[in-house]
Amino acid sequence: MVKFLIFRGERGEGAFKEYEVPYQEGMVVLDGVLYIQSRFEGDLSVRWNCKAAKCGSCAAEINGKPSLMCKTRVEHLSQPIKVEPLRAYPHIKDLVADTSWNLRTRRKIIKDVGFKPRKDASWIMKDEDIEKGREFRKCIECALCLDVCHVLREHQLFDKFVGPAYLVFSAYLETHPMDSVDRISWLKEEAGIMYCNITKCCTEVCPEEIHITDNAIIPMKERVADRYFDPIKMLFRKITGK
């Protein structure tokens, strides 16, 4: 048997309730949660979809670590397995948190600094031109990185910082060879990239193993530094007008 502690409650109020589920080889946390839902608690709220670690719907905190329930094998966990909703977000019910901020943020990025193709280059691109973006395209927007990011989780700066997932999205747009939009000042002023203090928790929890901090956030910070924090480059631009 596998022991689970599942958070039950609404709008942040509630408590952990213990359940026992029969163990099956290869069992993941989502199997246990769905078993509990089908056998003991018909009204247990849980968000899930593909059960293949590709949709990102079943993000939750398992033994305190933001993880995908469908990708976390129970034999790797100490029992009772504690499952709770993503804590950075407002709680709705049981294991479901209100992640609608994610969609609003993505829409806003597309509206404000979305992709606009350049007209002076061909769409025929070489491998080296799309290599950077290939990693960023793996993002499934599961929100694990957003949940673990202390800027959002602890300091709740949702209005000032777009968070790791959307910095990955921005890095994808920014590094696209056909992109023509200048989003450096947006990264600094609107996306709040300087709020990130490089503690790399986002990278640690990413189920797609994207090197979020090293390959998306730091390169974008370097581009911001080029424009705003490099006195020699600033002087050079002033002199040459470039």
**Residues that bind another protein in the complex, under the rule CB under 8 A:** 61, 63-66, 77-78, 82, 84, 87, 121, 125-126, 128-129, 132, 148, 150-151, 153-155, 157, 174-179, 192, 194-201, 204-205, 211, 213-215, 218-219, 221-223, 225-226, 228-230
Compute the distance between CA of residue 114 and CA of residue 173 in angstroms, rounded to an integer: 7
Question: Which strand (E) or helix (H) includes residue 91?
Answer: strand 91-93
Closer residue to another protein in complex, CB, 20/129: 129
Nearer to another protein, 52 or 124 (CB): 124
| Residue 217 C-beta: closest distance to another protein, Å | 9
Cα–Cα distance, 101 to 90 (Å, whole number): 10
Please, what is the minimum distance in Å from the beta carbon of residue 201 to another protein? 4
Terminal alpha carbon distance of the chain? 67
Cα separation, 185 vs 221, whole angstroms? 11
Full 3-state SS string of 137-170: CCCCCCCHHHHHCHHHHCCCCCCCCCCHHHHHHH
Least spacing, CB of residue 213 vs another protein, in Å: 8
Shortest gap between Cβ of 38 and another protein (angstroms)? 25
CB nearer to another protein: pick between 57 and 213: 213
